[in-house]
Copies of this chain bind each other. A is one copy, B any other.
Amino acid sequence: MKDAINSAVIGLGSMGYGMAASLLRAGNRVHGVDLNREAMARFQAEGGAPGGLDAMAGELDAVVVAVLNAAQSESVLFGEDGIVAKLKPGAVVVACATVSPDFARAMAARCAGHEVHYLDAPISGGSLKAAAGRLSIMASGTPEAFAAAGPVLDATAEKVFRLGDAAGAGSAMKAVNQLLAGVHIATMAEALTFGMTQGIEPQQFVEVISQCAGSSWMLENRAPHIVAGDYTPHSAVDIWPKDLGIVLDIARAAKFSAPITAAALQQFLAASGMGLGREDDAAVAKVYARNASLRLPGETGQS
């Protein structure tokens, strides 16, 4: 067995909590940090390191940043109580939020100023894979950053894509993946409800299309939620205004016209505006259903 490391996971949402638990299972010391004190207490009860992080920061080998977005990432790393200044030289930041490549490059440069490595390491796979230590990680960074992050990657990931020697490439590939994943969810919803106007039941849609050229990973994963009328959030609607917004921000900066992504974003914004932001992202189908006066499985007659 490899040497255990001293680690912290900042952000104990469903993804971060799963990564922290996976690091624990692999025999590492793990500090779990979150604004939500309940999540912190639960993680400590499951074996997380006790006590405040501040006193321990200088002993950490790796800090996993699993917060929601760029602003939170920057705050955690370099804000008023930012952790980077407290880390020992040679420690590594494993940055998992979906951010722009430019932001990742800027964070890596600032970490380098503190002799801290930075692995641009957006994650993919959802909360179940996070809990199982089976994430996909789209990573880029210096060889030293990869080496220092090794125990984290080993404990949390099933697949690590090594995308280059510099921060930015990981975030770029994540943005590409999110473009596709978000559009595919909304298109699944568009096609499923379009089919309903032509007499095709959602169940039949899934049975047939999942075997046809129109299928996608997201269709096979999300369309069954609509069939079941179950919008328990595995991944929430509100992820997509954020992530497709990042994609379109990057695209605009590059003067890249992305009309399909733009159309999909509007549908997720409408879902969020309808109050569905915390529901499973398959709930974007409710935008189409409302527009076309359709009743999805599990919906009552109320509108």
Question: Which residues of chain B come closer than 8 Å to A191, judged between CB atoms?
Answer: 176, 179-180
Given A125-B213, A211-B136, A267 contacting B259 (CB threshold 8 A): yes
Given A101-B198, A184-B184, A194-B251, A178 contacting B256 (CB threshold 8 A): no
Chain B: CB-nearest residue to A204 = B163
Contact yes or no, B257 A260, CB < 8 A = no
Contact yes or no, A250 B213, CB < 8 A = no
**Within 8 Å of chain B (Cβ to Cβ): is A145?**
no
Chain B: CB-nearest residue to A248 = B194
Question: Which residues of chain B come closer than 8 Å to A198, judged between CB atoms?
Answer: 101, 168, 172, 175-176, 250, 254
Contact yes or no, A205 B176, CB < 8 A = yes
Contact yes or no, B183 A209, CB < 8 A = no
Q: Would you list which residues of chain A between 118 and 172 have a CB under 8 Å from chain B?
A: 124-126, 136, 138, 159, 161, 163, 168-169, 172
Identify the stretch in A23-31, A64-72, A77-85, A217-225 within 8 Å (CB) of chain B at 4 or more residues.
Answer: A217-225
Contact yes or no, A259 B266, CB < 8 A = yes
**Within 8 Å of chain B (Cβ to Cβ): is A75?**
no
Chain B: CB-nearest residue to A195 = B176
**Within 8 Å of chain B (Cβ to Cβ): is A262?**
yes
**How many A residues are at the interface, by size bracket?**
35 or more
Given A159-B211, A183-B187, A292 contacting B176 (CB threshold 8 A): no
Task: Give the oligomeric copy count.
Answer: 2
User: What CA separation (Å) do A278 and B203 show in the bound complex?
Assistant: 36
User: What CA separation (Å) do A126 and B126 show in the bound complex?
Assistant: 34
Contact yes or no, A292 B124, CB < 8 A = no
Contact yes or no, B177 A213, CB < 8 A = yes
**Within 8 Å of chain B (Cβ to Cβ): is A190?**
yes
Report which residue of A159, A179, A247 has the largest number of chain B beta carbons within 10 angstroms of its beta carbon.
A179
Contact yes or no, A216 B169, CB < 8 A = no
Contact of A292 among B187, B255, B264 (CB under 8 A): B255
**Within 8 Å of chain B (Cβ to Cβ): is A232?**
no
Question: Which residues of chain B come closer than 8 Å to A215, judged between CB atoms?
Answer: 180, 216-217
Contact of A190 among B208, B260, B266 (CB under 8 A): B260
**Within 8 Å of chain B (Cβ to Cβ): is A298?**
no
User: What CA separation (Å) do A247 and B193 show in the bound complex?
Assistant: 13
**Within 8 Å of chain B (Cβ to Cβ): is A15?**
no
**Within 8 Å of chain B (Cβ to Cβ): is A300?**
no
What are 26 A-B pairs at a CB distance below 8 A? A138-B208, A163-B208, A168-B198, A169-B200, A172-B198, A175-B194, A176-B194, A176-B200, A176-B209, A177-B212, A179-B214, A180-B187, A180-B215, A180-B216, A181-B214, A183-B260, A184-B184, A184-B187, A184-B214, A190-B260, A213-B221, A214-B218, A215-B216, A216-B216, A216-B219, A257-B292
A-B interface, 10 closest residue pairs, ranked by CB to CB distance from nearest: A180-B214, A216-B216, A172-B198, A177-B214, A197-B254, A263-B263, A176-B195, A259-B263, A181-B214, A260-B263
